Amino acid sequence: MSAPLRSLLLTLALLSTPAIADSNAATAELQRAQQSHDQALRDYGKAKDDAAWADKQVKEAEQDLQKAQQRLAQLIQTRDKAQADIATTQARLEAAREKVDAAWANRPQ
């Protein structure tokens, strides 16, 4: 419904109401109703824009979270491999140390 038609219908509705017999009162009521309606439209537009902005932010945050989770999984794998390498290297080091100790014990004197 167009704004002029809406205004006309509001005017007719207000003028036909017995409680508002005076045309000045009807005009004032119509203006208040129109202002209220216009403000509601502005508020709706702002809320819609705010919701779109928030939706975009949520999508970006979800993408960032997914990337962070993937990075975390990679870092956990790297850490686990490093810990396994430490255990393997430590076992090799201990075996080498035992050989050195045995060689020292068996050296000619």
Which residues have a Cβ under 8 Å from the Cβ of 14 and sit 6 or more positions away? 20, 26, 29, 30, 33
Q: pLDDT at residue 20 above 70?
A: no
Confidence of residue 16 (pLDDT cuts 50, 70, 90): low
Q: What share of the chain in percent tops pLDDT 70?
A: 84
Locate tokens 């809320």: which residue? 47
Look up residue 18 and give its DSSP letter.
Answer: T
Locate tokens 């709706």: which residue? 44
What is residue 24's predicted lDDT score, i.e. its pLDDT? 80
Which residues have a Cβ under 8 Å from the Cβ of 37 and sit 6 or more positions away? 6
Average per-residue pLDDT for the chain = 88
* Domain around 55: 3-105
Question: Residue 96 is encoded by which pair of tokens?
Answer: 């080498």
The more confidently predicted of residues 26 and 54 is 54
Q: What is the pTM of this model?
A: 0.53
Q: How many domains does the chain have?
A: 1
